[in-house]
Structure 1
Amino acid sequence: MLPQERQDLIMKELYEYHSVKISELSSKLDVTRETIRKDLYELEEKGLIRKVHGGAVLNKANLETNYSSRKIVNEWEKRAIAKKAVEFVFDNDTIYIDYGTTALYFARELIMKKTGLTIVTNSLSLANELVEHSNFSIIIIGGNVRKNERSLYGPVANQTIANLYVDTGFFGIGALHPEVGYTNIHMGEAEVSRLMVQHSKRRVMMADYSKFGSIHMNKVAPIEEVDTLITDSKADAEMLKAIQAKARNVIVVEAEGGEGDE
């Protein structure tokens, strides 16, 4: 296993369990403790983690904003959600795709399965993926760049959105709570999402189980305003039930390798 692959697995453990132990990582990854220490040192140098006695914890300052690290967290759940979301896209549609890691998997599904799309986005990562690997028409909304997230926001973005309307908007989300609705951490990004919700004929939220039950500072939309929520089968049962009571349509998918029906 290459060092980068090993470090990706370590980050995945940290995002899921919030802390790791050197002894457990050594056993799980079948390498020496010294190798794990070197990995943790490199991750700390990148600002992703903080070493503690016998292990490491996440560097909370980078928890939400490090896009590359978040791509590996709940990867199979995100892939399953993305595959289902493609069913809401028709050839030659004009759609909006929000920033976020689930959105990137969604874009890759579109590249394989759809033709003739016009795609509006505020994600530089997603736009790059689409430009390199598809013949879709791409519209980037412009604005201020949030470097770690590779997203666009601000007055220029908002002004562009004011003149755009799409068939369907697809949104990732930072948090989801039955009483509050959909929320995000960053004020500017939340404003972009909020405006595009209003400028989409149909609205689809893509949220894996880890987003349930949390509340961030900036509201994007109430539960009732979204046409379809797509999540995975690991979502908390009570939380999901409360959301279903308010939502127009909730689809629960099974991640690859899981059991049960979609």
Structure 2
Amino acid sequence: MFLRERQEEIARLVSAEGRVTVTGLARRFDVTEDCIRKDLRQLEAAGALRKVYGGAVSVSSPPERSVIKRVGAHSAEKRLVAEKAFDMIEPGETIFLDVSTTNLALAELLSSGTKHVSVVSTMMGILRVLARNPALEVLGTGGSVNTELDGFMGSMTLACLRPLRFDRAFLGGLGVDVESGEVTTYLWDDAQVKQLAMANSSHCLLMVDEHKFGAGGSYVYAHVGDFDGIVTNRVTTELASAVEGLGSTLV
């Protein structure tokens, strides 16, 4: 396949699928990853896509803001992240789960498991799932309801969280920039909740599947180095090295 044909096919794939990876494209076209990276740079310069860590995304496909609409997306990857996080939790701990579809997967594991823990959450869907297991001590913060996020936020939420202390906080993010280390979300109110939970936690874990690396949001709420670990579904040598360089560890 000629260069122009390959780049046209790459642009078509990005438009159709929303995201492609360097590794996947190299296998598909039987060329080196360096060759694909050069293709992506040229296509980005032409405005056909946006390069992100490990691949590229469509310029017309920003991350979905609505939590409800994201629940079914990348479910297998989120389940793997949730399983890793579940293994970290010790019986008797008090943990915090913020508004996150990956944390919803973790809540499903807690609900069907036998670990006796106390869970505080700002996400209504998580609270409904956890309520199935009477062995769990569950606290919903209350506050102003944001239907887009399926959760609570605002001054009442912060007032509830302020005196609480957590053994572990599991936090989501809409995007992680592994060059700058910025971890983002869309809403300032959501950022405030995440920041307060981090300040009140002995251990902070970022819950993101591989599709979040390179994606973006409107507000930077933390730096990669602020987390004790980045829990993700696929650990590569390149990504692990980048995260370690920013002061954290991939799990």
TM-score, normalised to structure 2, is 0.72
Equivalent residue for 1:120? 120
CA gap 1:83/1:240 in 2 versus in 1, 3 angstroms? same
Equivalent residue for 2:160? 160
Equivalent residue for 1:78? 78
Q: For residues 210 and 80 of structure 2, what CA distance do their matches in structure 1 show?
A: 12
The SS at the match of 2:104 is helix
Q: For residues 126 and 15 of structure 2, what CA distance do their matches in structure 1 show?
A: 23
Q: For residues 15 and 88 of structure 2, what CA distance do their matches in structure 1 show?
A: 30
Equivalent residue for 1:138? 138
Equivalent residue for 2:224? 223
Q: Is the 8 A contact 1:202 1:227 kept in 2?
A: yes
1:214 equivalenced with 2:215 (yes/no): yes
**How many aligned positions are there?**
199
Q: Is the 8 A contact 1:16 1:73 kept in 2?
A: no
CA gap 1:249/1:240 in 2 versus in 1, 3 angstroms? closer
Equivalent residue for 1:172? 172
Q: For residues 15 and 233 of structure 2, what CA distance do their matches in structure 1 show?
A: 18
- 1:207 partner amino acid: V
TM-superposed CA distance for 1:72, in Å, is 1.5
The SS at the match of 2:131 is helix
Q: For residues 192 and 140 of structure 1, what CA distance do their matches in structure 2 show?
A: 13
The SS at the match of 1:132 is coil
List per-residue Cα deviations over 1:115-164 (Å, max 9, x = no partner).
32110110001001111344311111111111122111111111111111
- 1:98 partner amino acid: D
5+ long unaligned stretches in structure 2: 1-13, 20-57
TM-score, normalised to structure 1, is 0.69
% identical aligned pairs: 21
TM-superposed CA distance for 1:108, in Å, is 1.1
Q: Is the 8 A contact 1:111 1:133 kept in 2?
A: yes
CA gap 1:114/1:170 in 2 versus in 1, 3 angstroms? farther
Q: Is the 8 A contact 1:183 1:217 kept in 2?
A: yes
5+ long unaligned stretches in structure 1: 1-13, 20-56, 252-262
The SS at the match of 2:110 is helix
TM-superposed CA distance for 1:238, in Å, is 4.8
Q: For residues 242 and 100 of structure 1, what CA distance do their matches in structure 2 show?
A: 24
4+ residue runs of structure 1 moved beyond 6 angstroms?
Answer: none
CA gap 1:241/1:96 in 2 versus in 1, 3 angstroms? same
Q: Is the 8 A contact 2:176 2:182 kept in 1?
A: yes
Equivalent residue for 2:195? 194
The SS at the match of 2:198 is helix
Q: Is the 8 A contact 2:96 2:169 kept in 1?
A: yes
